[in-house]
């Protein structure tokens, strides 16, 4: 058991050095992925702008008098949230704003959200759209239509719009830095995975330690060879042959001259 653990630790150490020796390639891959994500985000992704309006769902005429009324009001808030996202309300918003050619009810539902801050009677309606002006119009109209619907269906005092939407100057998505960071990490992991797979598939014997490790044999002798020595041998051989040819030419000339 101890021997297996030692071999596993040595493999991890070797793997670390494999990745360390190729760190420049891994970093370059991460940079390329991040640059690609930046270009994709900038040129191909449509920016979205957000606008929010808020509704106060209980007016001063029906202020809660005790804890029981408070709990009933909390449950009614959930009903209001569902009603705002209902098909009828969303369809009326599309019709009133004449957005039939740009949005369907399903698309409008996806680009809008309704939240209720904790311990409040406030409903926050948020819309995200590629045009900041239309995003503001959507949340304002959605609040107005929802209020009319609540008043009519639930037979309550009409809720009040606490705050209308604003035209945003800066998009809320996409997040350039976040996309670049994620792409860079993916590129780094991908490059590392490729080198790890190549390392695991490489079963060649390169060092005396590999002979002992994989073949369970002892190394009896080793012939050292410096880098480039084989090429140097070929160059020396060419020089030797060249000198031999020159000597042969000189001797031939002497024989001709002597004759």
Question: DSSP per residue over the chain, as a string?
Answer: -HHHHHHHHHHHHHHHHHHHHTHHHHHHHHHHHHHHHHHHHHHHSPPBEEEEEEEE-S-GGG---SHHHHHHHHHHHHHHHHHHTSHHHHHHHHHHHT-TTT--HHHHHHTEEEE--TT-SEEEEEEEESSHHHHHHHHHHHHHHHHHHHHHHH--PPPEEEE-----SS--B--HHHHHHHHHHHHHHHHHHHHHHHHHH-----SHHHHHHHS-----------TTHHHHHHHHHHHHHHHHHHHHHHHHHHHHHH-
Residues 40 and 54 in one domain: no
Q: Is residue 9 over pLDDT 60?
A: no
Q: Which helix (H) or strand (E) holds 140?
A: helix 132-154
Cβ–Cβ < 8 Å for 199, 19 = no
Residue 6: pLDDT band (50, 70, 90) is very low
In a shared domain, residues 6 and 34: yes
The full DSSP string for 19-61 is HHHTHHHHHHHHHHHHHHHHHHHHHHSPPBEEEEEEEE-S-GG
62 and 130, same domain (yes or no) = yes
Residues 89 and 35 in one domain: no
Q: Classify the C-alpha dihedral 63-68-74-77 as positive or negative.
A: negative
What is the per-residue pLDDT for 36?
A: 96
What pLDDT does 232 receive?
59
- Rg (Cα) of the chain, in Å, rounded? 38
Among 135, 163, 191, the domain-final residue is 163
- Token pair in block for residue 196: 């790890």
**Range among 4-8, 198-202, 232-236 with highest mean pLDDT value:** 198-202
Domain that includes residue 72, residue range: 49-163
Q: pLDDT digit string (tens) for 74-114?
A: 566 788 888 899 999 999 999 999 999 999 999 999 999 99
Domain boundary among 137, 163, 189: 163
| CATH number for position 135 | 3.30.1890.10
Clarify whether residues 152 and 77 are in a common domain. Answer: yes
Domain presence at residue 195 = yes
CA distance 259 to 257: 5
pTM: 0.64
If asked whether residues 59 and 39 sit together in one domain, one would say no
Q: Are residues 30 and 93 in the same domain?
A: no
Number of domains in the chain: 2
Do residues 55 and 159 share a domain?
yes
pLDDT of residue 7: 47
Selected residue with higher pLDDT from 34 and 17: 34
102 belongs to a structural domain: yes
Average pLDDT along the chain: 79
The pLDDT of residue 99: 93
| 121 secondary structure, DSSP code | S
Instruction: Name the pairing type of β-strands 49-56 and 112-115.
Output: unpaired
Asked if residue 115 and residue 23 are part of one domain, the reply reads no
Per-residue pLDDT reduced to its tens digit, 157-211: 778 899 999 999 999 999 999 999 999 999 999 999 999 888 888 767 666 666 6
Residues 157 and 195 in one domain: no
Q: What is the pLDDT of residue 154?
A: 77
Domain boundary among 112, 140, 163: 163
Q: Are residues 32 and 115 located together in one domain of the fold?
A: no
Q: Is residue 154 in some structural domain?
A: yes
**Proportion of the chain above pLDDT 90, given as a percent:** 47
| pLDDT one-digit tens code per residue, 105-139 | 999 999 999 998 877 778 999 999 999 999 999 99
Pick the closest to residue 241 from 172, 170, 249, 145 (CA basis): 249
My answer on whether 129 and 59 are in the same domain is yes
């Amino acid at each position: 058991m101890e021997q297996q653990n030692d071999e596993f630790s040595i493999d991890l150490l070797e793997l670390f050095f494999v990745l360390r020796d190729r760190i420049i390639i891994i970093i370059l891959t991460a940079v390329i992925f991040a640059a690609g994500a930046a270009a994709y985000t900038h040129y191909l992704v449509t920016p979205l702008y957000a606008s929010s309006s808020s509704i106060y769902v209980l007016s001063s005429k029906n202020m809660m008098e005790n804890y029981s009324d408070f709990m009933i009001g909390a449950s009614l808030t959930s009903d209001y949230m569902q009603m705002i996202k209902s098909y009828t309300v969303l369809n009326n918003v599309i019709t009133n704003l004449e957005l039939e050619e740009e949005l369907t009810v399903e698309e409008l539902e996806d680009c809008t959200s309704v939240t209720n801050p904790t311990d409040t009677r406030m409903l926050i309606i948020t819309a995200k759209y590629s045009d900041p002006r239309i995003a503001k119009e959507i949340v304002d109209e959605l609040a107005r239509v929802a209020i009319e619907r609540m008043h009519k269906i639930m037979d309550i005092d009409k809720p009040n719009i606490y705050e209308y939407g604003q035209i945003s100057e800066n998009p809320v998505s996409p997040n350039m830095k976040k996309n670049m960071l994620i792409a860079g990490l993916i590129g780094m992991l991908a490059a590392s995975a490729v080198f790890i797979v190549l390392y695991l598939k490489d079963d060649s014997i390169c060092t005396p330690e590999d002979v002992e490790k994989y073949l369970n044999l002892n190394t009896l002798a080793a012939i050292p060879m410096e880098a480039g020595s084989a090429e140097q041998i070929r160059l020396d051989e060419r020089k030797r042959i060249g000198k031999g040819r020159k000597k042969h030419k000189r001797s031939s000339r002497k024989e001709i001259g002597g004759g």
